[in-house]
Amino acid sequence: MPESFILIPGRTSRQGCGISEGKFSTEYQEETHVLQVAPSDMARLGLSPGDMVRVRSETGQIEVAVTPARGDELSPGLLFIAYGDLSSLLLGADTHGSGIPTSKGLDVILEKVET
């Protein structure tokens, strides 16, 4: 069943290290193609590491593998994805005059992709 979450895209230190090898390197691609979910949300939703989910915002949708966030890095109800091609598909084009689209605190719907 689809559930509402707040998505927080951002940069990670692993992503920053991987950029020196290029955005098409395995390390960079792995970092930008996984969604971090609070462990309690993963348990409640019956998700295991590597399960595929669909994330929808008002401007786009992606399918991405999940992984549990470490410790208490994410509170329940929050999701994190590293900036990259997937996260960009969820951002709108409106920059509110700043030149940068809103990229924090996006309202999204998450649902498990059944195989």
Walk me through the domains of the chain, giving residue ranges and CATH numbers: 3-112 (2.40.40.20)
In tens, the pLDDT along 43-58 reads: 999 999 999 999 999 9
Query: d(Cα 71, Cα 91) in Å, to the nearest integer?
Result: 27
Instruction: State pLDDT tens for residues 29-85.
Output: 788 889 999 999 999 999 999 999 999 999 899 999 999 998 888 999 999 999 888
* Predicted TM-score (pTM) above 0.75: yes
Cα 65 to Cα 42: distance, rounded to the nearest angstrom: 12
Element (H, E) at 111: strand 106-112
Phi/psi at 106 (5° precision)? -80, 130
- Tokens 């971090």 locate to 36
**What is residue 23's three-state secondary structure?**
coil
